[in-house]
Amino acid sequence: MWPVVAIDATHLKGKFKGILFVAICKDANEQIYPLAIGIGHVEDEESWSWFLNQLRRAIGCPENAMFIFYKHLGIKNVVEKVYKDAHHDLCNYHLGKNFKNRFKREDVATIFTMVANCYRVTDFDRHMNQLKQLCKPAYDILIRLGPERWALAPSPVRRYKLMTSNTTECINSCLRLLNEASHFFVQAIDRVEFQVIGGSKDRVMNLSTKECSCGEFQFNLLLCTHAMAAISKCKRVAIEFCSDYYKTRSWAEGYAVPIRPIGHPSEWDIPYDM
């Protein structure tokens, strides 16, 4: 895994309230890899301290590690204590969003994105000068924050193209589906068929045929919220009801045989009888 960790928190909106703390990184295929999750009552320094100390116990502090987070005072103070040897960077997504809301100018947000994603120092300096001429207050804020904390070119360590903690939103989107499913009332018709009550319409879910009256389950071969609710009611494992096409084994088998390049057309050996 890359030594770049994005951390964030979100509110739990289901039956049980609280804060979900999330730490993610990316794997060699640039896919999101959840490192750790934790649940607390509130988002404050004490909760962040508990979560990050548990994270350090689990993964240690990799060499040249970098932590990306939203500019929340509670996170900032704790990260600097628990991972004082690591580099601490700001989330570009939230920073850019704040710029857009504060200055109400699309051109300022656009140049900020260009500045943040430059690989060469010369390009970085050029775009920063453009921003200085365009909006001096925005330029001053970025200088005060420290360019090495939000931009690629002046960063002392590699970011591996991970510029934002907003990638934790994928975890949040999964939670939203589970939260929706938790509000359904599930009534068993028999051992495999269930009536799922709630939402815009009541649905009938059959775990044996892997069909739901909403149509989503059988068309995508991936769980709909009604299927999640029924499976949770039965205390079954959700992955059992997903198509093999979504599983790691199928993905690996697809690339088991090397795909050879065909080369330039001028080098093709075409038989005369074709």
How crowded is residue 201: how many other Cβ atoms within 10 Å of its Cβ? 10
CA distance linking residue 274 with residue 261, whole number of Å: 21
Judge whether 209 lies within some domain.
yes
**C-beta of residue 156 within 8 angstroms of C-beta of residue 87:** yes
Angle between helices 92-103 and 106-116 (to 10 degrees): 160
Q: Residue 256: what pLDDT?
A: 87
Q: Indicate if 4 and 68 belong to the same structural domain.
A: yes
H helical segments located in 215-254? 216-220, 225-234, 248-254
Q: Residue 174: what pLDDT?
A: 64
CA distance linking residue 156 with residue 178, whole number of Å: 40
Q: Residue 94: what pLDDT?
A: 78
Q: Range of 141's domain?
A: 92-163
CA distance linking residue 270 with residue 239, whole number of Å: 47
Q: Indicate if 154 and 201 belong to the same structural domain.
A: no
Calculate the alpha carbon distances from 261 to 29, 155, 252, 257, 264 in Å: 21, 37, 19, 13, 9
- The 8-class DSSP code of residue 241 comes to G
Token digits for 149? 């904390």
Judge whether 12 lies within some domain.
yes
Judge whether 25 lies within some domain.
yes
- The 8-class DSSP code of residue 105 comes to -
Positions of the chain with pLDDT under 70: 1-2, 14, 71-74, 159-179, 181, 274
Dump pLDDT digits (tens) for 86-96: 777 777 777 88
Q: Residue 173: what pLDDT?
A: 64
Q: Residue 209: what pLDDT?
A: 92
CA distance linking residue 38 with residue 22, whole number of Å: 7
Q: Residue 133: what pLDDT?
A: 92
In terms of Cα–Cα distance, which of 66, 145, 132, 133 is closest to 98? 145
Number of domains in the chain: 3
Judge whether 259 lies within some domain.
no
